[in-house]
Amino acid sequence: MRPVILIDFDETLIDTTEIKRRTLDLFLGSGAKLPAIKHALLVIRPFAPEKVLHLLFPEDERPKRKFFSLFKRLGEYNYAGVELLLRRLQESHDLILLTYGDPRFQRLKIRQSGLRPFFKKVVVTKDPAKVEAIVKLKKKGAVAILDDAEEVCKAAPKCNLPAIRIRRGRKDSRYFAGVLRRLNRIVS
């Protein structure tokens, strides 16, 4: 059995901040008020587009169409260098995408990223700390996790799984080369 690396999706491989920015612009541009948007995002967690759109625009289908058209261009939100990172990791490991969120929305973004073929499996959890999934996947050979979320990087070592915290924001091949080196020190 090959060792398994768990990899987060949002903010680790794709620029979710940019998706959020475009979404907010779209909601405001479609006539929603900021307090109503904030309320919708607070009560619908994890973010599920159909539910949020229905709450904000119950009578109007146009914002929904505009929203989903944000996810048409393949790999548009991928950080530079992620494909290289995944290709290198794949040489000696099985990769599992372990992502927090609404299952339908996560699968839509994953499809759009074009990164699905790198992963043996996709696991979507609604627990932001991902604890149960980590425990389960550790038993199935996971040796490390890459994630930008503080709560995940705190929870994983408690389950005896080393974590590498991925920096939020813009990243490039050089940054990911550094991640590879850190990972090699942990898993070799």
What is each CA distance from 93 to 8, 107, 159, in whole angstroms?
A: 15, 22, 20
User: Is the CB of residue 159 less than 8 Å from the CB of residue 151?
Assistant: no
- Of 2-10, 89-97, 105-113, 172-180, which part binds Mg ion (CB under 5 A)? 2-10
Q: What's the closest the beta carbon of residue 173 comes to Mg ion, in angstroms?
A: 20
Q: Quick one: 16 or 56, whose CB is closer to Mg ion?
A: 16
User: Is the CB of residue 183 less than 8 Å from the CB of residue 88?
Assistant: no
- Of 3-11, 25-33, 45-53, 84-92, which part binds Mg ion (CB under 5 A)? 3-11
Q: What's the closest the beta carbon of residue 59 comes to Mg ion, in angstroms?
A: 34
Binding-site member from 8, 15, 83, 102 for Mg ion (CB under 5 A): 8
In 30-169, alpha helices (H): 34-43, 49-56, 62-68, 82-90, 103-113, 131-139, 150-158
Where in 12-51 is the site for Mg ion (CB under 5 A)? 12
Considering the rule CB under 5 A, would residue 148 count as an interface residue with Mg ion? yes
Which spans of this chain sit near Mg ion (rule: CB under 5 A)?
8, 10-12, 148
